[in-house]
Structure 1
Amino acid sequence: MKEHIAHTERLIHAPIQAVWAVLTTPDRHAVMMFGAEVETDWQVGSPITWSGTWEGKPFTDRGVITAVDEPTLLAVTHFSAMSGEDDRPENYHAIEWRLEPIGSQTRVTLLQDGNATAEAAARAEANWAGSLDRLATMSAD
């Protein structure tokens, strides 16, 4: 079973609406996602794709928007062929960005399920930490 959950948090020095705007604006979301171009309409049930190049290899990851509660929650499924796994529902991750206003700042909590081991969850946390660092930088601009 893949029950290990990656959990990463950041306190971002920007109001929740600014953070939400970065998260849901395609060109800004792309920067947060290591340059991957995102395509979606941000509606529940709609597809979402991320396309780009990772370590010299082109990729297109895909999923579905599963929840939108502006400005506090964005949830998607995610599958990457680069994982080497078959494109089956049990090989998709569920990813949630939870935003909470703390005065004029925003706490962002990112959760990703579907990690096979604690080590895999730790690797995901490290990747997401970089993504949340970019989100923080762009939100403060």
Structure 2
Amino acid sequence: MTDYVSRSTTDIAALPHTVWSALVNPELAGNYMFGSTVASDFQPGSPITFRGEYEGRSFEDHGEILEADEPRLLRYTHYSPLSGQPDVPDSYHTLTFTLEESARGTRVTLTQDNNPTQEAADHSTANWERVLEALRVTAERLGG
């Protein structure tokens, strides 16, 4: 593992429970996860898969739910064959979504560890900023 961590934050005008619902509802996840189909029951130890197309290439990413503390914390591992790395533990990232109640509603911070370089972490940050913006739109449409 490396020490390069990407970090993205956004404020969402919705309560943490609403944001959590948007985050863990597989039917809504495609709205913010690059149009992918997400499958998981979001229970610790359960698998999570992402299937779709990104930048013209099909993918099937996978990982495992590590922690799900509604409505505060969701943490899971993530591996993508598009990375070009072998499917071994050192090739996995850990994604951590932290939800904190704020004056506007909810502040969501997303971190991704195990980026091989600062450039890779910066690229991930840009991707996750797009994801959080789409999560914001999705959660705010749900209201509450």
Q: Is TM (by shorter chain) over 0.5? A: yes
Q: Do structure 1's residue 83 and structure 2's residue 58 form an aligned pair?
A: no
Letter in 1 for 2:128: W
Equivalent residue, structure 2, for 1:73: 73
Instruction: Give, in angstroms, the shift of residue 104 of structure 1.
Output: 5.2
Equivalent residue, structure 2, for 1:140: 140
Q: Aligned equivalents of 1:32 and 1:44: distance in 2?
A: 22
Give the TM-score normalised by the residue count of structure 1: 0.97
Letter in 2 for 1:13: A
- The number of residue pairs the alignment matches comes to 141
Q: Aligned equivalents of 1:51 and 1:2: distance in 2?
A: 26
For each residue in 1:52-107, what CA deviation from the matched residue of structure 2 results, as whole angstroms up to 9, or x when unmatched?
01122211000000000000000000000010000000100000000000145100
1:44-59, aligned counterparts within 5 Å? Answer: 44-59=44-59
Q: Do structure 1's residue 113 and structure 2's residue 113 form an aligned pair?
A: yes
Identity level (%) = 41
Conservation of the 8 A alpha-carbon contact between 2:12 and 2:104: no
Letter in 1 for 2:94: A
Provide the secondary structure at the position in 2 that maps to 1:71: coil
Give the TM-score normalised by the residue count of structure 2: 0.95
Conservation of the 8 A alpha-carbon contact between 2:52 and 2:60: yes
Provide the secondary structure at the position in 2 that maps to 1:122: helix
Conservation of the 8 A alpha-carbon contact between 2:49 and 2:62: yes
Provide the secondary structure at the position in 1 that maps to 2:134: helix
Provide the secondary structure at the position in 1 that maps to 2:131: helix
Gaps of 5+ in 2: none
Q: Aligned equivalents of 2:37 and 2:116: distance in 1?
A: 27
- Computed over aligned residues only, the root mean square deviation of the Cα atoms, in angstroms, reads 0.9
Conservation of the 8 A alpha-carbon contact between 2:78 and 2:92: yes
Gaps of 5+ in 1: none
Provide the secondary structure at the position in 2 that maps to 1:129: helix
Find runs of 4+ consecutive structure 1 residues off by over 4 angstroms.
Answer: none
Q: Aligned equivalents of 2:73 and 2:128: distance in 1?
A: 16
Equivalent residue, structure 2, for 1:126: 126
Provide the secondary structure at the position in 2 that maps to 1:114: strand
Q: Aligned equivalents of 2:105 and 2:9: distance in 1?
A: 13
Q: Aligned equivalents of 1:117 and 1:104: distance in 2?
A: 34
